[in-house]
Structure 1
Amino acid sequence: MTVNHGFHAVMTAQPGRGDELVALLLDAPSLPNEDCVVFLVSRSGANPDVIWLAEGWTSQQAHTAFFASEPAQAFVAKLQPLLAGESQYSDAVPVGGKPAF
């Protein structure tokens, strides 16, 4: 599938809660979604509470529809208490590469 919409997010967990944030992200309801083509969770080597997320979707409409769903809204509600402040987002459309795992 082709990625036509994507973004990078940088999230900072509440102090000492980076592991919980990573675990929650890796259990995200978008992972089994066929329109979510890229879902990559990374973390800072210097600060384990800083997490990067890269997502790639078949379309902006598919992304919007997914995040309007009940499972996605429940996921966001679980995510919010783990975060320290606002996440930073930038648009990005993956164009190639290879998985590291």
Structure 2
Amino acid sequence: MTVTHGFHATMTALPGKGGELVGLLLGAPSLPHPDCPVFLVSRSAGDPDTVHVTEGWTSEAAHAAFFATPEAAALVARLQPLLADEPRYADAVPVGGKAAF
């Protein structure tokens, strides 16, 4: 499967809410989505309220279509109250590597 669209997001949770933010992200409806083969959630070692998400999608259209769904809107609505500020995004298309959990 070819990934042609992706990004890296950094989110800062309200103090002490990093674990809750990670929990919601690890239950995200994009995880099992067939057009999202890359969905990696990470935490800062120095600040557990800083959370990073890397996503890779088969296309920008697939990503946009997914985020137009009620499931995606519900996730965003649940994440917003946990955030200390707006997420920061960087263009990043995953091209390979390894992750095993």
Structures share fold, TM-score greater than 0.5: yes
Equivalent residue, structure 1, for 2:19: 19
Equivalent residue, structure 1, for 2:67: 67
Q: Distance in 1 between matches of 2:83 and 2:37?
A: 25
Q: What are the residue-to-residue correspondences of 1:1-101 with 2, within 5 Å? A: 1-101=1-101
Q: TM-score, normalised by structure 1?
A: 0.98
> Once structures 1 and 2 are overlaid, which stretch shifts more, 77-86 or 91-100?
91-100
Helix, strand or coil: the match of 1:51? strand
Q: Distance in 1 between matches of 2:32 and 2:54?
A: 16
Runs of 4+ in 1 over 3 A off after TM superposition: none
Q: How many residues align?
A: 101
Q: Distance in 2 between matches of 1:48 and 1:68?
A: 30
Helix, strand or coil: the match of 2:56? strand
Q: Distance in 2 between matches of 1:14 and 1:84?
A: 5
Specify every segment of 5 or more residues in structure 1 that has no aligned partner in the other structure, as ranges: none
Q: Distance in 1 between matches of 2:37 and 2:58?
A: 7
What amino acid does structure 2 have at the position aligned with 1:76? Answer: V
Q: Distance in 2 between matches of 1:97 and 1:30?
A: 20
Aligned-residue CA RMSD (Å): 0.6
Q: Distance in 1 between matches of 2:33 and 2:14?
A: 28
Q: Distance in 2 between matches of 1:31 and 1:45?
A: 23
